[in-house]
């Protein structure tokens, strides 16, 4: 462990690291999905119709939704552009927008960024395409120089917590009464991947995506966790 001239332990030296820029909205191409800047004119109506069959429970832990119609959905999505440090993206598969997510709480000076506000249509849930879309957002953040990618959710949101851990995020604790929404309290569970974690996680993702990891029905042979544990 490093120490200063007083013999006190100090954090690792960051000489050589410089703050990245805020992510530039652009297409991030994967093998199965394109993560593209969310534009209402291009994606809004089609995305709404993809989400319509989903149960209202997908909105329980979101700050917005459910929606009575297309106009309410438009208002909520367009409002994302007005929030500081928020960049929304659509997940497009075979030309159809099937979900969306955002970069949030973007802090270039600290090298910290969050992936959140994730909403997946029934067609996208529990698919390889969904995993790839989130992988692309995480990888892009590290590629442009961020040191830490965060994932936060309501502490009671079990599916989100499972998803974070499946993707390799480390649970760092729960902030009690961190905020409130929809007239109720939210304790917020914090997860993160930091840059020194990423090479091992990236390698596991790449191995998981290999065609040989899937059988003839498309079922995975090894989970991400199993691949990480073998690394």
Residue bearing tokens 């902030």: 175
- Write down the pLDDT at residue 81: 83
What count of other Cβ atoms lies within 10 Å of the Cβ of residue 44? Answer: 18
For residue 217, being part of any structural domain is answered with no
What count of other Cβ atoms lies within 10 Å of the Cβ of residue 19? Answer: 13
Domain count within the chain: 1
Q: For residue 41, what is the DSSP state?
A: I
- Write down the pLDDT at residue 13: 92
Give the H or E element holding residue 103: strand 96-107
For residue 214, being part of any structural domain is answered with no
For residue 76, being part of any structural domain is answered with yes
> For the domain that residue 126 is a member of, what is the CATH number?
3.40.630.30
- Write down the pLDDT at residue 82: 84
- What are the per-10-residue average pLDDT scores of the chain (231 residues)? 94 93 95 97 96 96 95 94 91 98 97 98 97 98 98 98 98 98 98 97 98 95 96 77
Residues 6+ apart with CB under 8 A from 30: 132, 133, 135, 136
For residue 120, being part of any structural domain is answered with yes
Task: List the Cα angle 91/95/49 in 5-degree steps.
Answer: 70
The boundaries of the domain holding residue 92 are: 28-195
Q: For residue 64, what is the DSSP state?
A: S
Q: For residue 212, what is the DSSP state?
A: G
For residue 64, being part of any structural domain is answered with yes
For residue 205, being part of any structural domain is answered with no
Find out whether 174 and 141 touch, Cβ atoms under 8 Å.
no
Give the H or E element holding residue 36: strand 34-37
For residue 229, being part of any structural domain is answered with no
Rounded distance between C-alpha atoms, residue 85 and residue 73, angstroms: 21
Residues 6+ apart with CB under 8 A from 218: 128
- Write down the pLDDT at residue 104: 96
- Write down the pLDDT at residue 59: 97
For residue 19, being part of any structural domain is answered with no
């Amino acid at each position: 462990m490093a120490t200063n001239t007083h013999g006190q332990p100090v954090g690792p030296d960051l000489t050589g690291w410089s703050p990245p820029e805020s992510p530039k909205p652009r297409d991030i191409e994967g093998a199965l999905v394109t993560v593209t800047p969310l534009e209402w004119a291009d994606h809004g109506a089609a995305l709404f119709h993809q989400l319509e069959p989903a149960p209202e429970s997908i909105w329980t832990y979101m700050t917005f939704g459910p929606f009575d119609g297309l106009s309410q959905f438009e208002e909520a999505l367009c409002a994302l552009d007005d929030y500081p440090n928020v960049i929304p993206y659509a997940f497009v598969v075979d030309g159809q927008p099937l979900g969306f997510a955002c970069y949030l709480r973007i802090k270039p000076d600290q090298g910290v960024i969050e992936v959140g506000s994730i909403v997946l249509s029934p067609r996208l849930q529990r698919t390889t395409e969904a995993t790839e879309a989130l992988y692309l957002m995480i990888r892009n953040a590290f590629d442009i120089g961020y040191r830490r990618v965060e994932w936060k959710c309501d502490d009671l949101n079990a599916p989100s917590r499972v998803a974070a851990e499946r993707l390799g995020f480390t649970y760092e604790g729960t902030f009690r009464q961190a905020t409130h929404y929809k007239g109720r309290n939210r304790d917020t569970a914090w997860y993160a991947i930091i840059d020194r974690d990423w090479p091992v996680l990236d390698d596991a993702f790449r191995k998981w995506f290999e065609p040989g990891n899937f059988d003839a029905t498309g079922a995975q042979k090894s989970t991400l966790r199993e691949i990480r544990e073998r690394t």
